[in-house]
Chain A
Amino acid sequence: MFKAIVSAETLTSALDSVSVLVDECKIHLEEDGLEIRAVDPANVGMVDLSLDAAAFESYEADGGLIGVDLSRLEDIAGMAESGQLIQLELDEETRKLQIQIDGLEYTLALIDPDSIRQEPDIPDLDLPAEVVLEGKDVNRSVTAADMVSDHIALGVEEGDEYFYVDAEGDTDDVHLELTGEDLIDLQVGPAHSLFSLDYLKDMNKAIPKDTEVTLHLGEEFPVKIYFGFAEGQGQVTYMLAPRIQSE
């Protein structure tokens, strides 16, 4: 059993943050909210999302599992105007999702969850550095790096206590430092890792510019990117594996 009413903004934010990594996903319809975990086909980037029941106008579920085509569902959610509510209801008989936006009714065929790539185990990482910054600064870092390179290094300078971004292109380089003043919070620790911008650019798209973003970093370790949405009732954690740093 699953029946929920949710604002278009909340649903769209949730879907967008998953669809930057995968086209199809499994959605766990838990009693206390939705949960989605997915990893990209190359097993490099992962998303772990939860959307609490409190983020919905109304929410009833008893622990089912459905598989959805994300771009379809995003298209439907895109039909709603700002501030409109979307009603979702699972038809257990037909295994279809009934979606209602005012007078618009859409019946979405679901995907067999077994045919969707297995959900990842979430690595339990002990990452020594923690950087808390605004979404717009993440965007600025990624955009700057993307001008010169397809890779980005993220690190923390322990002595002078700042977070930095490096990108080396064939000819041009970018270096950005964010000190305590620019950051919301910083816990220093040994941290320097190189990441593919292909992934980070996509993840950046889903990060609201005005939100607080927490980065967990280590030496040659994955980065964990955490942010909330829907007034904190939705949580997204991305995890991105590093590239080996050459030379």
Chain B
Amino acid sequence: MTRPIRQHLEVPVADGDGERYSLRMGPQHPATHGVLRVDLELDGETIVECTPQVGYLHRGFEKLAESKTYAQGLILTDRLDYIAAMANNVGYCVAVERLLGIPVPMRAKYIRTIVGEMSRLCSHLLWLATHALDIGAMTVFLYCFREREILLDLFEELCGARLTFSYPRIGGVRQDVTGWFIDELQRFIDIFPSRIEEYETLIDTNRIWLKRTVGIGKITGEEALDLGLTGACLRGSGINYDIRKHQPYDAYDQVEFAVPLGSEGDVYARYRCRMEEMHQSIRIIQQCIDQLPPGPIVSPEAPELVMPNKAKATIQAGRSEYGTSLIRLIRERDIFLSGDVYVATEVPKGELGFYFISDGNNRPYRMHIRSPSFIHIGALSQIARGELIADLIANIGSLDVVLGESDR
């Protein structure tokens, strides 16, 4: 009975001459960053053909969002890029605010910028950790986690969660920052540059690291544009495009920062870009702390988000208080416009875009997520062709993909 299944799972042999063979790398593989599957056609250890396969983590978020109100849809975005959930939350909120025309108070904007940059640091730290681990530098992995832990503790102080935050809300943020948070954050950004130096002493000029990264996985600027790459993958190839700079949202137009650019477009250039971005994030956070204005953290025009009365909710089991009250509140406002909007934000991985079609209801008629990881995985086959298996690993790490975001 089991025979057909086994035959289906058997790794096929490419052709009769025995020179080439195929290898199915993943979805269970230590270096595919989740459940990415890469079908490889190999000649020795050289990659002849490389086909990335995604979809193992598909949860149907885009469809699911159609049955949730805009306020409820926020929690779905936590599960996209779970390494930098805060940046997704911010991206979603910015998009919905643009759709509904809700202004955001200045203080909330600054707080969002701070948490956005913190999540960028989180994501880049995890990227560096796993990228280095993939290439074999094991200690960097744990050094990065040491700093990431501090950031997660800060997030915990801010909103009680360490992974799925749902901290920003439509029209502002959920809670105000505490004094302890600001003090600890200040302490963190004071020590962090020296920690970056610590990582760099281990790998930056290490001969083996250079041999493994320089000239590997080259993409020219034009190719990167054609492939639709964004974020550090695009900037590593020398294209100056950063949404924070060119279409500023939140408080990014109030702060000064540089957009680090590479020129070679190889793994090393992308590595350098992200390392520099970490320095820039520190700069942005510092300015935000210094300029943080007083005032409200939620716009008065924001749809009210009321947690349900627990007793009531259980009595009305069929129609929970939570759902009805939200629907009512949002309906009463009657601010929903028909039409569509595409809003992109710069998340750590690249350009995260939310595309909404609204039919005037309180739920999106259609939500599309333009996730950078999905597009970056698509570039893998072009980058990896002709290189070795070991380079494929370096490339997957350097494209910085997260499968939760790719598969949605």
Chain A bound to chain B: no
Interface residues of chain B, those whose CB is within 8 Å of chain A, are none
